[in-house]
Chain A
Amino acid sequence: MEHAAVKAADQVKPLLSHESPASVVAYRGGRAVGAQQFLADARQLAERMPSGKYVLNACVDRYHFAAGLAAGLVSDKVNLLPSTHAPEFLRQLAQFAPDAFCLTDQARCDIDLPLLRYPRDLGERVPRRAAVALRGGTASFCVPQIPQEQVAAIVFTSGSTGMPVPHQKTWGRLTHCVRDGASKLGLLDGRAHTLIGTVPAQHMYGLESTVLLALQSGNAFAAERPFYPADICAAIAAALRPRALVSTPIHLRTLLAAGIDLPPLDLIVSATAPLSQELAREAEHGFKTRLLEIYGSTETGQIAARRTADSALWRLWPGVRLRTDHGQVYAEGGHLEQSTPMCDVLEITGEDEFLLHGRTADLVNIAGKRSSFGYLNAQLIDIPGVIDGAFFLRGGADLDGGVTGIARLAAAVVAPSLDPASLLEHLRRRIDPVFLPRPLLMVERLPRNATGKLPLQALQALCEPRSRERGSAPGAS
């Protein structure tokens, strides 16, 4: 009997690791929300959920999102976390999960699924029974134990064929990964840290490094998602120390360029795209703290970190290893269920370290949103009236955007019956806005070579002014 009980405890992981009912899980509008309140909110939300198995959790407020995730965990529902809400992507998702409903906290929600509005009356007061328990001490502070094998969330990548590829995330793997991360980031030192995130909770990085990281390390996250530099600085200044900023190269670059006072931090975490050593040093100097960069992917979750200001080498999470087989790098061990092929070009430099040399050819990553040329091209060619078309990266570093440094995609399209505006409208319904082509070139034919392939250089040449239609008119400068 005793042996069975031990084994059962081994097969579950707690929803959160906060030790007392009043331990702070989140700060929302300057108010602290304790673990007891959070669990009460999650249970009440679970009771109001319809019978479907899948929740598209679209809550913008990080606390609402976390309550939706926890409600799913205690009622064995799966949170669906697509990286985009483009209608065509959601249509494909509905085929995958026909009984899905959408949990939203926005007054306006265009998502074409049955809607569950985040109830406004949650969190107003601790339910009576729980309030009594609070006064009576920790006796009835009961943290749900979630089976390790339970699927907590499904995240999606674009795949290469035009259909989204689901990646199931079990509670055991997610918590294992995040707990390893918490110790690497120094968040298990017994102090109460506050995590301020500029990334959405629905993104794999945001999910792991804000909501799950706080829940699994006994720390707190800020519910708001500040956007403009002044908002981010105000959110930092409002948080108790020690406080950490969970952000991206784009936000850090913008913050440093904004020319405003930067409140001191105790940790900066960055992911989604590699950060330059120069920017990392500037950020460390500006916020008077260290910056740790995290490496991961939708498939693997987070697997490595580095202090970018000091070293280009990435250190793997405990137990995670890389190996190469026929030129393909795989990650395995640690929280990884199986050997997982990596989509980036990695150079293994030691048993637990590597260098990152960029992305493999088909992969596109813009501002942390990932897709593939295969997926984008399939969506483009699927539009009625499009005869041929291809997305591509424009050449030359000088074409990068301003301070944010984002290089946009271009596309060349053969579609005599469509004008650029209506073609863009079609695309907007199918793909995330960050992938919309800039420029969108309407051409008579694509520069395919004898074997039907499209050399990148030929596509890039289309962007040069003199080969553009409006630039080729006689007398045009």
Chain B
Amino acid sequence: MPDKASLMQQSAPPVDDDLEREIAALFVQALNLEIAPQDIDPEAPLYGAGLGLDSIDILEAALILSKQYGIQLRADSPENHQIFRSLRHLAEYVAARRTK
């Protein structure tokens, strides 16, 4: 039976919400999205259904990440948008790789 401390650990967010919100705000502004940053579901896919980004948005988003956080994204193919599988995942990725 899990003790109270480990339960709290499980429910604690892996990255700070601030970074999530910051990235959401950057995307909404740069991509002219029809949604308020705080309304983006952090677990929903960013690409395709979900937030509805397409490959042009992803290119633009990649530039934002390089300018803002010094991250150059790499992928095996245009179909591989794993990094964008959710806002939360992306924020974790940025937190781990950012150089600025």
Contacts and interface: CB of A to CB of B under 8 A. Distances in A.
Contact of A229 (B33, B62, B64): B62
Interface in B47-95: 48-49, 52, 54-56, 58-60, 62-64, 66-67, 72-75, 77-79
A356 B80 CA distance: 36
A404 B49 contact: no
A395 to B, nearest CB: 14
Contacts of A231: 74-75
Contacts, number: 84
B3 interface: no
Contacts of A225: 77-78
Which secondary structure dominates where chain A touches chain B?
Answer: loop
Interface in B20-67: 30-34, 48-49, 52, 54-56, 58-60, 62-64, 66-67
A225 B54 CA distance: 17
A109 to B, nearest CB: 11
A259 B67 CA distance: 8
A366 B73 CA distance: 24
A403 interface: yes
Contacts of B75: 227-228, 231
A200 B72 CA distance: 22
Most buried by B among A254, A425, A433: A433
Interface of A: 60-61, 106, 200, 224-225, 227-231, 234, 250-251, 254, 257-260, 366-367, 399, 401-404, 406, 408, 424-425, 428, 433-434, 436, 438-440
A438 B32 contact: yes
18 contacts: A225-B78, A227-B58, A228-B62, A230-B73, A250-B59, A254-B59, A257-B63, A258-B72, A367-B56, A401-B31, A401-B60, A402-B60, A403-B63, A406-B56, A433-B48, A436-B54, A438-B34, A439-B34
B73 A228 contact: yes
Interface of B: 30-34, 48-49, 52, 54-56, 58-60, 62-64, 66-67, 72-75, 77-79
Given A401-B32, A433-B52, A438-B34, A227 B60 contact: no
Given A227-B58, A228-B73, A425-B49, 8 more contacts: A106-B79, A200-B78, A229-B62, A254-B60, A254-B62, A402-B30, A433-B52, A438-B33
Contacts of A408: 32
Contacts of A224: 77
Contact of A227 (B49, B63, B77): B77
Contact of B72 (A229, A251, A406): A229
A382 B51 CA distance: 24
